[in-house]
Structure 1
Amino acid sequence: MAILDIQIVSASLAEVQAGLAAAPDEASWIQSSYLIAEIVMIPLSGFLSRAISSRVLFTLSCAGFTLFSGACALADTLPAMVVARALQGFVGGAMIPICFSTSFLLYPGAERVKISVLISLTATLAPTIGPSLGGWLTQALSWHWLFLINLPIGTAVAVTAWLTLDIDRPEPGLLARFDWWGLLFMAGFLGSAEYVMEEGPRWGWFDDAEITHLALVCALCGALFLWRALTRAEPIIQLRAFRNRNFLMGCLLSCVVGVGLYGLVYVLPLFLARVRGYASMQIGETLFITGLCMFLSAPLAGRLAKLMDLRLLLVLGMLLFIASCLWIARLTNLSGFWEMAVPLGLRGTAMIFMFMPINQIAFGTLPPAEIKNAAALYNLMRNLGGALGLAAINTSVTWRGAAHRQHLTEQLGWARPNVPVWLDNLAARIALVQPDVPADLAALRRLQGLMQREALVLAYNDVLVLMAMLFLLAIPCVAIVARPRTGPGGH
């Protein structure tokens, strides 16, 4: 639910914006407030799970997430929605790392491979089906059900977790040594970083005074947070897990996978909406093939994990993802489901083949005592990778779109003999249908619209190629990784 709610609103943002009477440039805060709050809680969850136990923290997190989901559904103004989304993201952010750490603490040996496949399927499937489920709920019911759907599920999960789980023992003495200054610096660092990455491409990065000021806040708070983490006897985030080579490389690879996980789910809906004019339901139907192939590939991934080196399985997944990106990177203004079905299915298989080995690589050589804090850091890196990826994608679309528009404009000059002929013919047809409209001007506007559309298509193709190049450059990192073991913790 926590991962799904990152993406479930994206396909229906226009409907939510209209329901709240918000301006288009304000609606992005519905997403940003959730992401900023969640990214602050994720690293904090390691300390809190040690202090009050994983069972108590998960139950409180799930119950709070469910409660504030209801508040989101009841919101009737943008400020109320933003506050509810921020609280929903902050309180619910602890669930994700607790699931990762618990899977490694409770399931030893071969059982860990099975549970890792299920967790990988959940973590990758949720962002993929988010637009599909969101579009269907909005069209079939209303946008309120984007949040109301969490209520029965969240209640059942919270009650079940409280009554049945026994994971670890709390260390309440940690709360007396809680580093409040460290929390303040961490919140300032991660919150401002997330905002800068979310809003930077939209406002021209450092051309905007607010972005510049928050970037300075990010740098200052980041330095102070690092100082507290390295000098305190009991910091809120333990960074010593990064001394483990496999965990460090696992976090780096998780960051790269985060770009692919969230990047394609962001780029393709934009293409289908802005170029093809698809509604949210049509976008969801087009992307659904990825989720289907994830389900079908999960048993195969589990079988291969037992038969081959996990590092080879990871490389196979990365190569499949590269092939998927390069295949899709031939978009035209007519591309739709049938043109994307096979590469999107390939992407679903690739995500499962990558995600599960990376989990094992990151945690497979860590001692059990470090896994809780490590899970928080690991999930933080994946989310930061997604945020960095989306910022880079938005910036690339803007820059490459401008470059393609300039190039196409040069090719559509009056010196080209077919351009005046095409404009004259179009103007003549417009004059017949709409005699009161300035036909020459309407024809020029039509040509400009076509040029902008084609520039946008080319820019999206460039982004897909860049994404493939990123994964290609990341493959050598796998050679640095030691072969992960399947015993508990580092045993």
Structure 2
Amino acid sequence: MSASIVVPSGPGHGATAPGTVPAAAPGLSGKLAIGMAGVLLAVLVAGFNEHVTEAGLADIRGALSIGHDDGTWLTAIYEACNVSAMAFAPWFASTFSIRKVTMTMVGIFAMLGVLAPWVPGLSALYVLRALQGLAAGALPPMLMTVALRYLPPGIKVYGLGAYALTATFGPNLGTPLAALCFEYLGWKTLFWEVVPLSLLSILCVGYGLPQDPLRLERFKQFDWPGIILGFAGISMLVIALMQGDRLDWFRSPLVCHLIVAGVSLFVAFLVNEWFQPSPFFKVQMLGIRNVAYGLAGIALILVMAAATGLVPSLYLTEIQGYRPLQIAPMSLMLALPQLGSLLLVSAICNLRWVDCRWVMAAGLVLTMAFCWAGSDVTSDWYRGNFYPLQWLLVFAQPMTVIPILMTVTLKLAPSDGPFVSGMFNMTKGLANAIAAGFVDIMMTWREHTHSNILLDHVGSQRFMAPVAPVQTQGLAGLAEAVHRQASVLALADINRAMILITLVMLLLTMALPERVFPPASAHVPASPSRS
């Protein structure tokens, strides 16, 4: 079939007639490039803050005298507000302008970071983290919007690669930053590290991005039921996923109520959006093959990315007793080379004769190779064993994220940009919560299973021989040895489960999406090709 290439622009621009190719965007000026760099910096800083405070949570709890259970709510509340804000931020950007929303949210985000160590109590810290999560969650949709709106066709794919940094490079840099802040600068800098880069981001955005006119008349059709239903439903689901393992999932009345209410409210939200004249989500877009594939795909890919990133960190923390400073070299080895691999993958996908679906398939194969090799993990592994495996992810993650972004965005009309941005980013945030819940479920389930098997084996050996581990090591030593080995086997099982998820994603890639061509080839007549 012949592919019509439609370059999305920002809200407020005229829609392109179906099947036509819009005029090329003007060249990227230095001033505009500075503004876009400021938006990218803002999104990266928001991601750093999320992962730095999560990696340094034990140190924050110790400094503020917060118990373990109370501390988990700091992460859950932040994540719930973060994901919920992603769904609704594009509407406010269309109303107040990308420039104002970005500068305001970054300013609030940095100010709350300054105040965090001085809050008077735990309840106040919960409120502060909720507000900071709202501000941080509003930023990723801004980056996708400016990349699609302002970049000329020749480099638009590189803009999508810059957005992919937030899903690959940013999370992998969280542990090294946490180690640097706590070990050398003090626990308060786990909150304050966002301030200098936030100020730089505000200066760049204020200088470089143009100011769109206010469109306050949009409030006459504001979707009040949608924001109430959607915000409540998404927040409940995220909190249930983040707290489920600690509260023993469906044995907890709180988790049951959160899941039932969250699913019900979110379904009601989608029904409401279907009939709204000015919705936050354009649910009808799910009928587009590439959009449906993209939303399902980004969820599966980010679950895989989060799980494959968590397994080495969990192993080194739980089995070998590493501190964040000792894990930092492994995280840096994954994060820093991705700056080059993202550019390389973007350049490859920007070639007309390269089908990004095949790039995606190759990235999935590399991910499967990582999981297959990681399934052989033993209690003798150390940090150096993971280095060769990390090189697979250096290329696999960009090769999966960038083609997904191209598939979703490059065949949409300009007026659909804000809708797909909200849906895509909300799915992206929800996938991280799903990944955390999935890893928790697998660790608990498989560790219990392997512990029972190992204890049965020890009991059988003791029955057959008078000298048994329980006599030579004592009960405490036996429990520690069984827990250690069961945890290693559970981590291996997570890698095996990731192979199955990757295989499902590979089958979807082969069957569902239609081919898209890079915007750089818009001036070249499209030759017939099979979907």
Aligned residue identity for 1:454: Q
Distance 1:56 1:191, change over 3 A: same
Q: Tell whether 2:349 aligns with 1:305.
A: yes
Q: 1:104 aligns with which of 148, 151, 174?
A: 148
CA contact (8 A) 1:196 1:214 kept: yes
Q: What is the CA–CA distance in structure 1 between the aligned matches of 2:362 and 2:259, rounded to whole Å?
A: 38
Aligned residue identity for 2:487: L
Q: Tell whether 2:194 aligns with 1:162.
A: no
CA contact (8 A) 1:414 1:420 kept: no
Aligned to 1:372: 418
Aligned residue identity for 1:320: L
Aligned to 2:85: 41
- Deviation per CA, 1:98-130: give whole Å up to 9, x if none: 101210111132211222222213431111111
Aligned to 2:495: 464
Q: Tell whether 2:375 aligns with 1:322.
A: no
- Deviation per CA, 1:206-249: give whole Å up to 9, x if none: 11111112222213312321222112211233323323211221
Q: Tell whether 2:274 aligns with 1:230.
A: yes
Aligned to 2:433: 387
CA shift at 1:51, angstroms?
Answer: 1.2
TM-score by length of 2: 0.85
Aligned to 1:341: 387
SS at match of 1:335: coil
Q: 1:84 aligns with which of 128, 143, 162?
A: 128
Residues 50-65 of structure 1 mapped to structure 2, 5 A cutoff: 50-65=94-109
What is the count of residue pairs matched by the alignment? 476
Q: Tell whether 2:498 aligns with 1:477.
A: no
RCO higher in structure (CA 8 A, sep ≥6): 2
Residues 26-425 of structure 1 mapped to structure 2, 5 A cutoff: 26-75=70-119, 77-166=121-210, 168-307=212-351, 308-416=354-462, 420-423=466-469
Aligned residue identity for 2:65: A
Q: What is the CA–CA distance in structure 1 between the aligned matches of 2:61 and 2:360, rounded to whole Å?
A: 40
Report which stretch shifted further, 177-186 or 458-467: 177-186
Aligned residue identity for 2:149: L
Aligned residue identity for 2:426: L
SS at match of 1:333: coil
Aligned residue identity for 1:349: F
Q: What is the CA–CA distance in structure 2 between the aligned matches of 1:335 and 1:284, rounded to whole Å?
A: 17
Report which stretch shifted further, 248-257 or 151-160: 151-160
Residue identity (%): 22
Aligned to 2:38: none
Report which stretch shifted further, 153-162 or 183-192: 153-162
Aligned to 2:528: none
Distance 1:268 1:77, change over 3 A: farther
CA shift at 1:288, angstroms?
Answer: 2.2
Q: What is the CA–CA distance in structure 2 between the aligned matches of 1:297 and 1:236, rounded to whole Å?
A: 34
CA contact (8 A) 2:49 2:194 kept: no
- Deviation per CA, 1:460-485: give whole Å up to 9, x if none: 11011101210111112113211113
Q: What is the CA–CA distance in structure 2 between the aligned matches of 1:253 and 1:395, rounded to whole Å?
A: 22
Aligned to 2:37: none
Aligned residue identity for 1:24: H
Q: Gaps (5+ residues) in structure 1?
A: 428-442
- Deviation per CA, 1:417-444: give whole Å up to 9, x if none: 78642538736xxxxxxxxxxxxxxx23
CA contact (8 A) 1:59 1:158 kept: yes
CA contact (8 A) 1:46 1:374 kept: no
CA contact (8 A) 2:367 2:396 kept: yes
Report which stretch shifted further, 465-474 or 231-240: 231-240
Distance 1:414 1:329, change over 3 A: closer
- Deviation per CA, 1:309-368: give whole Å up to 9, x if none: 111111111111111122122222221221100101211211111111111111011111
Aligned to 1:432: none
Report which stretch shifted further, 245-254 or 406-415: 406-415
- Deviation per CA, 1:33-67: give whole Å up to 9, x if none: 11011111101012111111112111111111111
CA contact (8 A) 1:37 1:191 kept: yes
Aligned to 2:13: none
Give the CA RMSD over aligned residues.
2.1
CA shift at 1:76, angstroms?
Answer: 5.5
Q: What is the CA–CA distance in structure 2 between the aligned matches of 1:306 and 1:213, rounded to whole Å?
A: 47
Report which stretch shifted further, 6-15 or 125-134: 6-15
Q: Tell whether 2:486 aligns with 1:455.
A: yes
Q: What is the CA–CA distance in structure 1 between the aligned matches of 2:316 and 2:289, rounded to whole Å?
A: 41
CA contact (8 A) 2:442 2:490 kept: yes
SS at match of 1:421: coil
Distance 1:354 1:417, change over 3 A: same
CA contact (8 A) 2:304 2:501 kept: no
SS at match of 1:483: coil
Distance 1:169 1:244, change over 3 A: farther
CA contact (8 A) 1:51 1:170 kept: yes
Q: What is the CA–CA distance in structure 2 between the aligned matches of 1:17 and 1:322, rounded to whole Å?
A: 37
Aligned to 1:435: none
Distance 1:76 1:288, change over 3 A: farther
SS at match of 1:362: helix
Aligned residue identity for 1:458: L
Aligned residue identity for 1:69: G
CA shift at 1:375, angstroms?
Answer: 0.9
Q: What is the CA–CA distance in structure 2 between the aligned matches of 1:344 and 1:69, rounded to whole Å?
A: 32
